[in-house]
Amino acid sequence: MGCGASRPATKDAPIEELHTNGTAIATSNSGPAATNTAEHQPEHTSVKPAAPSTSLLVPIEFGLVKGLEYGDKTAPALLVVQWWGINDDIKEKAMMLHAKGGCRVFIPDIYKGKSTVEVAEAKHMYDNLDWPVAVQELIQAAEYLTGTGSPKVAAIGFCMGGALAVAASQYGKIHAAVACYGIPQFAICPPSKVNSPIQLHVGSKDDYVSVASAEEFAANVKGAGGSCELHIYEGAGHAFLNNPDKVGQAKASEKDIGLAWEHIETFLWKHVGPHASAYSDGQSASYSQHNGQMQDNDMASSQIPSTDGIASA
């Protein structure tokens, strides 16, 4: 689950580690710097609107890809992926993100109809996943979303889904990626090839994705000139944003869970932008300060990965 990197960082580049008190601490591979700043504290406290019913998600199939979709096709889009397959939890997360940012959401069915809430079954599905094919499917999903009206596409994933979201960010089709407690192996995603802004979230007591592996991956991305935020949640275990918790890890506090979602929303709306519908029903004050901050990333087009020559994680 969420494989950690295994190679040393290539450069002594600073990493921004954003801890749960909202304080950014600049560190490097040689040790912590002496300065603290609240510069990266989330800039808004968003109103939590009611999410649409998950029953409104529409089945879509094209090429290799199957999935569920909802939202205005002209809105910025989010790919939403997790380890368990398409279960109620990931549907609710997708619809919550739609409600908060007015975005179009797409949940790719990487397990081809299988889903679970049981750890043993989820691990079996994960162990049999063809990672290069799964990355191709996310890229095809992003191409479908932009080809049918969305101006930009971001990906957010949880556990294995986070590793896939980052891995898919190599190929110029995804404008930003968020990984919650999931880091891809270097063979699947060399950090030097990450050419979209990424944001990583990990708990200090995560038994599957260590802080050290997240720091190493972030250092390599930054060392290669890429953009990476790393958020560390003291005392939190794996899958701390899950509802319900099924992995038996240390729970994050409600404050830290709320802070994680604020970091995620701020990052996503900055890089792909909330849709106009996010400004209705009194939400304008929450999101208007991010208007005009949507950044076009000069991402080089790369070849979609071959299924040959890359070992599955």
pLDDT confidence of 177, banded at 50, 70, 90? Answer: very high
Task: Determine the 3-state secondary structure of 67 from DSSP.
Answer: strand
Q: Which two tokens stand for residue 96?
A: 């919550």
Return the percentage of the chain with pLDDT > 90, whole number. Answer: 55
Nearest Cα neighbor of 271 from 16, 78, 43 is 78
Nearest Cα neighbor of 212 from 303, 204, 112 is 204
pTM: 0.75
Task: Determine the 3-state secondary structure of 56 from DSSP.
Answer: helix
* Measured CA angle at 199 (ends 62, 21), to 5 deg: 140
pLDDT at 56 over 50: yes
pLDDT, tens digit, for every residue of 193-251?
Answer: 999 999 999 999 999 999 999 999 999 999 999 999 999 999 999 999 987 666 667 88
Element housing 264 (H / E): helix 254-271
Mean pLDDT of the chain: 76
pLDDT, tens digit, for every residue of 62-93?
Answer: 887 899 999 999 999 999 998 878 888 899 99
Distance CA 198, CA 267 (A): 9
Instruction: Tell me the one-letter amino acid at 244.
Output: P
Distance CA 143, CA 148 (A): 8
Distance CA 112, CA 92 (A): 19
Return the percentage of the chain with pLDDT > 70, whole number. Answer: 68
Residue 292's alpha-carbon distances to 153, 270, 272, 273, 295, in angstroms, are 17, 9, 11, 8, 8
Residue partners of 30: CB distance under 8 A and separation at least 6: 12
Q: Are strands 15-19 and 176-180 parallel, antiparallel or unpaired?
A: unpaired
Assess whether the previous peptide bond of 244 is cis (omega < 30° from 0). Answer: yes
DSSP per-residue string spanning 185-221: -TTT--GGG--S-EEEEEETT-SSS-HHHHHHHHHHH
